[in-house]
Amino acid sequence: MMDKTQSSKDVQKPERTTVFWHSNQLVVTHHSLLDMSEGKQPIIESLQLEALSSKLQTLSRLQLEPFIRRDVPHPYRLEDDDGDERHRRHQYDDDEGHRHSEQEASSSIKNSLQSSIGKYFFPHPSGEGTLVVSFFHIRGDATTFSSIGSTDGTPTAVKLINGQLAQFNPSGPSRLLAASPNWLNGGTGNDPNYVTVGCPASPPIPANDPCPSGNWHIILPEKLPEAILNATGDGVQVFVLDTLPQQQQIFDAVVASGNSNPLLVDIAESVALNYQVLSDVLDVPGPNQPATGNDIYGRLVGFPMSDHGLFIAGIIRDLAPGANVECIRVLNDYAVGDTAMLLNAFAYIQNRLSDINPVTGEPGDLLNTPVVINMSLTATLPEEALSQWGFTDQTVAPARMALLLPMQALAARGVVFTASSGNGSGPRDQVTNPPGERLQPRYPAAFAYPLPGVEGEPGLAAMIPVGAVNGEGLAASYSNYPGELGIGAYGGELPRAVTGAPSATTGTSAQLPIDSILGVYTAPF
């Protein structure tokens, strides 16, 4: 069942400034000639990160500081339930950081840039050496930020490095490939006044007609090839990178249902639930917690949607009951994540596909197993918004490499990706699409096509972009075009409000009938 109305509870402030990345964070991607078998520390040393930081400071006065443990995800622990304690620790860490003098900071940075925290390792797609993606904070004093005309040093650092790669590539066993922002995945920045696009087209809506058997099934069109109609997914491992509620919430929902929802019971018993506690900036409860989500009128207001990933997993379990499904939490409860959270999941999957898993020292348990990674999320700037943010195809292309190259490494292992083309189209959207035109696919789905601004980049053949169709089999009004390499899957149509638009935070109800998939929902209502 789904809540009948969109409540004002936990709805965030509407009409905020649109952002697409974390301010004052930098991602750099290197190709080290050292093989992954050499170990993390020798590979990190080969990157010459101190030289990179020194050159950036010389050219811009911006400094790099390493990610620390509160910036990266980790498996759930009991102490993570204390959101207030995490918030206090976050504030304490920030205060301590401000107390450091520049001299103390520069001394500690030289050593800590070598930390493995916030660094992700993949076999290079060429088969030679290691691909390393590293995350950093950007620091500078008031004079520095005044000189660049912004309190956010990310665009300056990204454009400076990508525009002068030769200056940032000293001779040695590694090569700097590109710099990029830490892109947000369909959510807001770490300020309550900022929001980005890329989220479900509408809030959860109640299912008023319970199925007598307690279990609806998706019926595929008979005209599909017999191989698809008869497929069960046997032997396939599917990863759902999305939101995920804590296990207790799922088990409580099973008990509350009296076992009357077989799909929910199946998920609780059969789906692996990999609940990751995300970075503090994404996960610490409070007024500044990033949020996304369109209300029934299409306005970005933000609402809890921890069940979104379970909803997707339920569809997969229904269509491919023989597949092994694992949900990995890469988005917070308000459906916001970033590049670091995605790469952490990619690295986890890569390790399990490896000849020798570097974590366990044993052969990867997924070695030679067919793997599908589903990402019902979007990231990086839409093509249609480049000029608004001072980018062109040529200048933004390198900034997308931190996502593309690890995906190419996984594709080399046989991984297939499916990703949403995005829900940004239609007349309701006033952020990236005022005229109401149908947009092209968002990234990462758009990686299926040649990357604009990069000569000879053929596109990621392992990517399947997915758009939405409504109950009449037509393109849903909100769905971006998945392109000729993509597919359309049933996603339903936008709901219609019962009354005229009230305040975005007062809540509203939808008119019946509703054109939508019936799915799993476990949150209290």
- Rounded Cα distance between 344 and 446, Å, is 21
State the pLDDT at residue 199: 58
Q: Looking at 146, 180, 214, which one is the last position of a domain?
A: 180
> 520, 446, 59: which is closest to 266 by C-alpha?
520
> 403, 307, 369: which is closest to 20 by C-alpha?
403
Do strands 174-180 and 63-66 pair parallel, antiparallel, or not at all (unpaired)?
Answer: unpaired
The verdict on 450 and 385 lying in the same domain is yes
Q: Is the Cα dihedral 319, 321, 322, 327 positive or negative?
A: positive
- Rounded Cα distance between 45 and 229, Å, is 52
The verdict on 127 and 30 lying in the same domain is yes
Q: Looking at 145, 180, 215, which one is the last position of a domain?
A: 180
Mean pLDDT of 356-370: 95
> Is residue 519 included in any domain, yes or no?
no
Two tokens at 195?
């929001």
Q: Say whether pLDDT at 197 is over 60.
A: no
The verdict on 292 and 168 lying in the same domain is no
Two tokens at 511?
């008119």
CATH of the domain at 469: 3.40.50
The verdict on 200 and 55 lying in the same domain is no
Q: Looking at 180, 214, 244, which one is the last position of a domain?
A: 180
> Is residue 54 included in any domain, yes or no?
yes
The verdict on 40 and 11 lying in the same domain is no
User: Predicted confidence band at 255 (pLDDT cuts at 50, 70, 90)?
Assistant: very high
Q: End-to-end alpha-carbon separation of the chain, Å?
A: 9
pLDDT digits (tens, 9 = 90+) for 421-457: 988 887 656 555 556 678 889 999 999 999 998 888 8
Residue type for position 280 = D
The verdict on 287 and 374 lying in the same domain is yes
- Rounded Cα distance between 354 and 129, Å, is 14
State the pLDDT at residue 201: 61
The verdict on 173 and 236 lying in the same domain is no
The verdict on 301 and 433 lying in the same domain is yes
> Is residue 280 included in any domain, yes or no?
yes
pLDDT digits (tens, 9 = 90+) for 462-515: 999 999 999 999 999 889 999 999 999 999 888 777 765 444 444 456 767 777
State the pLDDT at residue 428: 56
Token pair 């996304």: residue? 292
The verdict on 53 and 174 lying in the same domain is yes
Q: Exposed, middle or buried: residue 106 (CB in 10 Å: 0-12, 13-18, 19+)?
A: middle
The verdict on 444 and 300 lying in the same domain is yes
Q: In what order do the strands lie in the sheet with 416-420?
A: 272-274, 324-329, 237-242, 371-375, 416-420, 463-469, 487-490
Give the domain extent around 134.
25-180
> Is residue 215 included in any domain, yes or no?
no
pLDDT digits (tens, 9 = 90+) for 200-251: 666 676 676 666 566 778 888 889 999 999 999 999 999 999 999 999 999 9
State the pLDDT at residue 79: 59
Chain centroid to Cα 274, Å, comes to 15
At residue 369's C-alpha, the angle toward residues 364 and 373, to 5°, is: 95
> 305, 365, 294: which is closest to 337 by C-alpha?
305
Counting the structural domains of the chain, the total is 2
pLDDT digits (tens, 9 = 90+) for 408-426: 999 999 999 999 998 888 7
Two tokens at 30?
């290197």
> Is residue 258 included in any domain, yes or no?
yes
> Is residue 216 included in any domain, yes or no?
no
DSSP 407-432: HHHHHHTT-EEEEE--S--STT--SS
The verdict on 295 and 335 lying in the same domain is yes
> Is residue 522 included in any domain, yes or no?
no
Query: Cis bond leading into 221, ω under 30°?
Result: no
Two tokens at 427?
């007349």
User: Predicted confidence band at 525 (pLDDT cuts at 50, 70, 90)?
Assistant: low
CA dist 217 → 164, 317, 326, 361, 468 (Å): 55, 10, 21, 42, 18
- Rounded Cα distance between 29 and 277, Å, is 25
The verdict on 317 and 195 lying in the same domain is yes
> Is residue 222 included in any domain, yes or no?
no
Rounded to a whole number of angstroms, the CA Rg of the chain reads 23
State the pLDDT at residue 498: 72
Question: Cβ neighbours of residue 255 under 8 Å, at least 6 residues apart?
Answer: none
